[in-house]
Structure 1
């Protein structure tokens, strides 16, 4: 029997499978999703899908935190075995190991936790790459509770008009099906930090403004990002001020827990009056101008020394 990996085959044999991962979940950061989508857009026209390596770590005891990824070149091979057409994905192991060495120079914490593929369902094509990532050749290390690499399937075709992101782990089968590779879906979510939400809001706002103008969306400038963040901060401060004033005037009943949080936030940073803050900005500006002046003077001195040296060499000749 040829190894087959498909959701349909897995569902038909569901009664035989016992999931060994009842508590594992996957948490995917937005940068991973963007990288996968970007790799799919940039893929060669002859390729149907995009595959690559997932990097991350185990957090909170049973959560696979996927924080980074990179695309791995691959080829899709077709061959006939006893009259049966067989398809396989052959990935570049050398490229994977080279990229992994570069990534580890940046962060030693991130380890190989699995791989990703674009598509709407799991097929027999996913069998061979998963076997590669399951071995030590791919530098995947078994760690509790992750005993098998994660397969992240991203539906770039928007089959159900939504971007479906699903995570799977290999499910052991009974002895009668020892040559069968099947997958079990585990809980997954796209996890966003506050900084990620701010960046996403900026991108959405840039796209919305471009649609209003009838132009192509472009990346927001640095000052636009500062403007958006500052505007949001002002709105939050106004909301907090209105809430405190309403509590002091007796219009609403104060929340003790909320009051403690506000006090904690206000006491976390020192306060300055307007004059002191303005003086700090002026001093900082003067320091920056002095650094620019000294760097310009240094470049000018080096240029003069070079011209003097060239003039002396010409006079000696």
Structure 2
């Protein structure tokens, strides 16, 4: 089962785990919590999570399970599609207490996954993400046990999350000549985002054209996988003339400008209404 299982993790889950680790008590060496998402046809997609307060001792584990169930019920009211799919823990290893915690989540969902995130960044600049499933071991009518088997992990994103990640990536280095504190950025306007995306798209097309020219000239060995990807990309482009494309693009830009103008008018009207309400109440 583990070999065919794929765990897809969204960036918001990683952010929440890191935030819970930073807010932990001084005497806590690791933090655990519940994973929420969906599971279907060998793919577990983790879209949300929350922290579960707990304490670990040498011979036992204490966790606030009632708090965990109450928090899950509140999350389930907001998004009924998110169910319990497993649990997470900070650190890079599966500890002796992991099997005890896993038994609890095995009662809450079928085949729960265990996700570990190395937040210590010890001797590496990247956080190690690993996922495990518990496989039962033993003989019939004999002593039973379990083993955590690794599963494939992928970091996936929705389109709004990609915009947020791109904005976060700009905080890695300060903008030269700016009076703002280092590492802080502001969201761009819609048209500025379109201009930046168009510039990136033009740069990527130039790289693709340079690769194709080098392959045709014999300067670089062809890659079948890249060729199939380029063929799919070409077939996905609708057949239209340059005039039809310009007309479609200009129409979409006009719609975008109209939406931006209307949103600004609504914002101004709300601000005026708020000030008039404040004046009439005095």
Q: TM-score, normalised by structure 1?
A: 0.66
Note closer, same or farther for the CA distance 1:190–1:272 as it changes in structure 2 (3 Å cut): closer
Partner of 1:125: 97
In structure 2, the partner of 1:158 is: 121
Q: Secondary structure at the match of 2:101?
A: helix
Residues 90 and 129 in structure 1, CA contact (< 8 A), matched pair in contact too: no
2:109 is aligned, of 124, 141, 146, to: 141
- 2:276 corresponds to which of 300, 306, 311: 300
The 1-side partners of 2:129 and 2:182 are apart by: 27
- Structure 1 residue 21, shift from structure 2 partner: 3.6
**Counterpart contact for 1:75–1:91, Cα < 8 Å:** yes
For 1:187 and 1:204, the matched residues in 2 are separated by 25
Of 108, 116, 139, which residue of structure 1 is paired with 2:80? 108
Q: Can you list the C-alpha shifts for 1:9-68, whole angstroms capped at 9, x where unaligned?
A: xxxxxxxxxxx5442221111111111111111111110001000011124x11111111
Aligned-CA RMSD value: 4.1
SS in 2 for 1:186: strand
1:172 to 136, 144, 164: 136
**Cα deviation 1:214-238 (Å, max 9, x = unaligned):** 96533x2123797455312234257
Q: Which entry has the higher C-alpha Rg, 1 or 2?
A: 1
Counterpart contact for 1:54–1:114, Cα < 8 Å:
yes
Change beyond 3 A, Cα 1:211–1:52 = farther
Q: Would you say how many aligned residue pairs link Structure 1 and Structure 2?
A: 259
Residue 94 in structure 1 maps to residue 75 in structure 2 = no
Unaligned 5+ segments in structure 2 are 210-215, 218-229
Q: Report the equivalent of 1:190.
A: 155
User: What corresponds to 1:6 in structure 2?
Assistant: none
Bigger relative contact order, structure 1 or 2 (CA pairs below 8 A, ≥6 apart): 1
Residues 27, 295 of structure 1: alpha-carbon distance in 2 compared, 3 angstrom cutoff: closer
Paired with 2:91 and 2:133, the residues of 1 have a C-alpha distance of: 16
Tell me the equivalent position of 1:201. Answer: 166
Measured after TM superposition, the shift of residue 200 of structure 1 is 2.5
**Could you tell me how far apart the structure 2 residues matched to 1:194 and 1:120 are?**
29
Query: Equivalent residue of 2:30, what SS?
Result: coil
Residue of 42, 45, 54 corresponding to 2:23: 42
Contact 1:202 1:225 in 2 (8 A): no
**What is the CA deviation profile of residues 228-258 of structure 1, one whole-angstrom value per residue up to 9, with x for unaligned ones?**
55312234257669999xxxxxx99xx7754
The separation in 2 between residues aligned to 1:96 and 1:132, in whole angstroms, is 11
Displacement of 1:132 after TM fit? Answer: 1.4
Q: Distance in 2 between matches of 1:171 and 1:149?
A: 11
Q: C-alpha distance in 1, partners of 2:275/2:86?
A: 50
